[in-house]
Amino acid sequence: MKSAWHVSSAGLAAAALAINVWAQGTDYSKIDITADKIAPNLYMLSGSAGLDPGHQDAAGGRVGVLTGADGILMVDAQYAQLAEKVAAAVKRISPAPIRFLVNTHIHGDHTGGNATFGKMGVTIFAREELREGMVHPPRPANGNAPPARDPAGIPVVTYGMGGPVNVYMNGETVHLIPIRAAHTGGDTIVRFENANVIMIGDFYRNFGYPFIDINNGGTLKGMLEALDAMMKIAGPDTKLIPGHGTIITRADLVPYRDMIVAVQGKVQQMITQGKTLQEVLAAKLTAPYDAKVPGGLLPAGAGTSADRFVSEAYQELKNGRVQ
């Protein structure tokens, strides 16, 4: 329960491509999907640990499953290669039909399985920005056309910023709460009101350092705003489930936010001194936190997770996008 690159769009796209290459090199046949009961009719599905180079704590992203007589609502859909295993895991929990699927953000470890569920007749909900990113994805750094998405996996119900979209089923009130550009430009948190559980997506993680996916609309400022919003929405006993890492409570958000602010301040100071990105990376600004961040020094794109985070902060601050 404890929370323990070059700065161009092309560089960030290359980093994202590297993550995709890792995923492609994963032996999905060895990955199992296990279920943990979080509340009387709410479960969390996780992939095996140690088999996904990009996510050593658990393969792919966490999946939420709300069950009951009204059918099933899922949160996120894992990698495409694991979608059938996810569907089988859901069937082991309940034989009820899967009716709704909510995407917390666009990354393939959360939306790759969309098409499998879309072809089952599942209605997919997501932010308008997420759908737009699927229909018109950014061009990779190599200049090639981006891979086409299976139309069956593209969300059919979308929403923007503003009040939450509310779903009433299985005796639960599910709030789909849009978050300003944080991890990506189309983030959603999913609150299960009666269970007192919130699925965060990836703007918080306690395995690896924060990932601000600038190429997909993420921002450092938005990540800090999202954490502030979470602290207001969550109660002291609310279970917070990140896309990667362990279940936390509101108190665990405080040191995480403090760490981001501290690193941001150090990066800004070095930018003011005229330091280059390479000099900033060489300074190892995350060193005070490395022992407390599981996976923080594991590879993530062109460097470590720590390098990626510092590079993203550098780009945002250098371009004046953080006020």
Q: Quick one: pLDDT at residue 270?
A: 98
Q: How many domains does the chain have?
A: 1
75 phi, psi to nearest 5 deg: -115, 110
Q: What is the CATH number of the domain that holds 35?
A: 3.60.15.10
- Please report whether residue 166 resides in a domain: yes
What angle separates helix 305-318 from helix 220-233, to the nearest 10 degrees? 110
Cα(54)–Cα(44) distance, rounded to whole angstroms? 20
306-318 average pLDDT score? 97
Residue 265 lies in a domain: no
In this structure, is residue 38 part of a structural domain? yes
Q: How far apart are CA 52 and CA 41, in angstroms?
A: 28
- Is it the case that residue 8 has pLDDT exceeding 50? no
- The pLDDT tens digits of the residues spanning 115-167 come to 999 999 999 999 999 999 999 987 776 778 888 889 999 999 999 999 999 99
Residue 32's contacts (CB-CB under 8 Å, 6 or more residues apart) are: 47, 48, 85
| Residue 101 domain-assigned (yes or no) | yes
pLDDT of residue 269: 97
> Taking all residues of the chain, what is their mean pLDDT, rounded to a whole number?
91
Judged against a pLDDT cut of 50, whether residue 17 lies above it is answered with no
Q: What is the reported pLDDT for 142?
A: 77
In this predicted model, what pLDDT tens digit does every residue of 206-249 receive, in sequence order? 999 999 999 899 999 999 999 999 999 999 999 999 999 999 99
pLDDT at 4 over 90: no
Count of Cβ atoms closer than 10 Å to residue 88 Cβ? 10
Burial of 319 (0-12, 13-18, 19+ CB in 10 A): exposed
Write down the pTM of the prediction.
Answer: 0.90
Residue (of 45, 124, 60, 152) closest to 90 by Cα position: 45
Strand extents, DSSP E, 33-162: 33-39, 42-47, 63-66, 72-75, 98-102, 123-127, 157-159
Q: Which domain holds residue 173?
A: 9-255
What is the per-residue pLDDT for 175? 98
User: What pLDDT band is residue 24 in, cutting at 50, 70 and 90?
Assistant: low
Residue 148 has a pLDDT of 81
What is the mean predicted confidence (pLDDT) over 3-30? 50
Burial class from Cβ neighbours inside 10 Å (0-12, 13-18, 19+) for residue 170 reads: buried
Q: Both tokens of residue 306?
A: 């720590």
Q: DSSP secondary-structure letter at 183?
A: S
Is residue 62 in a domain? yes
Q: What is the pLDDT of residues 37-83, one digit of tens each?
A: 999 999 999 999 999 988 889 999 999 999 999 999 999 999 999 99
Do 191 and 200 touch, CB atoms closer than 8 A? Answer: no
In a domain, 243, yes or no: yes
Q: From its phi and psi, is residue 97 left (phi > 0), alpha (psi between -120 and 50) or beta?
A: beta
Q: Say which amino acid occupies 242.
A: P
Q: Are 74 and 90 in contact (CB under 8 A)?
A: yes
* % the chain with pLDDT above 90: 83
- Residue 19 scores a pLDDT above 50: no
Task: List residues bridging with 98 in a β-sheet.
Answer: 72
Whether 37 is covered by a domain: the verdict is yes
The answer as to whether 44 is a domain residue is: yes
Least confident range of 1-5, 99-103, 299-303: 1-5
Pairwise CA distance, residues 183 & 242, whole Å: 12
